Structure 1
Amino acid sequence: MKVDVYKRPDSDGLFSYLVIPHEKPLPQEVTNTDWQMHEQDVNFERDGKRHFTLQAEDAYKQIGEKGYAITHINERARDGAT
């Protein structure tokens, strides 16, 4: 699946990631936060690996349910720790 990846700073130097199918707009419920484009047109595969702090299967499930996937609070990462 091709996706666009957004990133935002959280507290304590941690970052969250938002993954949206490529070329889809930001969902209305997240447009009032500080999401910044991180990478575009990224291959996001169901390979059992972690992508941008997101577990692949969990991300696919989130995308299927709400159209996007977002980092869980306990899975945020320091900058550069993707």
Structure 2
Amino acid sequence: MRLDIYRRAETDGKYSYLAVPEGKMIPQEAINSEWETADRSIEFDENSPELPEFAIDNPLQQIHTKGYAITSVKHLSQTG
């Protein structure tokens, strides 16, 4: 599966990331934030339980449920 990745600035210089299937629009419920393009058409192994470079857990499950996958709040609250 190929994904388009968007990001938005958070506190402490961190970013949240949003992944949508390649060529799909960001779903309506997720467009209330200012997302900027981070990467286009990245290859994602559908057997992978995470997208570690974007701190996204269970991306395939999230995409099937919501139409997108997003960085977990737990990753944003971690120090270091």
TM over 0.5: yes
Q: Would you say how many aligned residue pairs link Structure 1 and Structure 2? A: 75
- Structure 1 gaps of 5+ residues are 78-82
Give me the TM-score of the superposition, normalised by structure 1. 0.81
* Aligned residue type for 1:4: D
Query: 1:44 touches 1:51 (CA, 8 Å); kept in 2?
Result: no
Query: 1:4 touches 1:39 (CA, 8 Å); kept in 2?
Result: yes
Give secondary structure in 2 for the equivalent of 1:61: helix
CA distance in 2, matches of 1:33, 1:4: 16
* Aligned-CA RMSD value: 1.7
Give me the TM-score of the superposition, normalised by structure 2. 0.83
Residues 1-80 of structure 1: pairs in structure 2 closer than 5 A: 1-45=1-45, 46-48=47-49, 50-55=52-57, 58-76=58-76
1:35-66 CA-partner distances (Å, limit 9, x unpaired): 100000110113355241123xx111100111
* Aligned residue type for 2:73: I
State, as a whole percentage, how many aligned pairs show the same letter. Answer: 35
Structure 1 stretches of at least 4 aligned residues deviating more than 3 Å after TM superposition: none
- Structure 2 gaps of 5+ residues are none
